[in-house]
Structure 1
Amino acid sequence: MGETGTTNAASQLLNVAFSLLLIIGLILALAWLLRRFGQGNFLNQQSMKIMASMPLGTRERLLVVEVGGQQILLGVTSHQINTLHVFDEPVVDASGGTSTDFKKRLMALMNRAPASDTPAPETQKQKPQ
């Protein structure tokens, strides 16, 4: 009786090990296929790059995207993507750093004057009665 119990346990262990190897092989094959034919090619696109990103809220952000050598400012929310501005000349260099006047250009785009470094004037104090 002892010999059949050992043989049965050994065959079950061999079945489990083979099943695990088969599952790992399937995962690796699917990952290779996905990278080869799926999203992997999209992520390696050189013609479209996200140059800069600035979060505005939990689900909103600004993106500077370079497409075909032209940089575009996009507003991204959870429901839509809007083109805010198409820049005539690059505002973000290829190394990922922003140019010094990006803030000025963005403020001009938004038709706002840049905030000054001087504090706001004090409000008049009320006279005690």
Structure 2
Amino acid sequence: MRFAAFLTTLFSLPAMAEDAAPVVSPSTLFTGDYLLQVVGSFVVVILLLVVVLVMLKRFNGVSASIGGDLRVISSVGVGQRERAVLLQVGEQQILLGVGPGNVRRLHVFDEPAVTSAASASPSFSDVWKVATRKTGADQ
């Protein structure tokens, strides 16, 4: 009886081994569909990263107001979490130090230190017009 159980176990081991570990040939693993899926996933991740970085750059926390007498003339980062912000309030300009949890007045200018025309950045349409004129004149 023990011998029969031993023979049964001995002959069933190769059958169990085949079911447990199927052999996959390397040529069927790297098909065109698989490589397209991997490359497509990589492209999607890179595009998401670029979109997040553009959004972070665009919405940096300090923006100019839409209307009224108060507006941001300029802003510059002076540390990891600190900024210097130049505000236009009526005819005066105020330099503020902005950090986490506090805002301090650094200096009040009676006369404008920076003119608004010099601080205004060009719009995309202005840059596009200049760029298209240059390419049209070169050809």
Name the TM tier (shorter chain). Answer: 0.3 to 0.5
What's the TM-score, normalizing by structure 2? 0.37
Relative to its length, the structure with more helix (as a share) is: 2
Larger Rg: 2
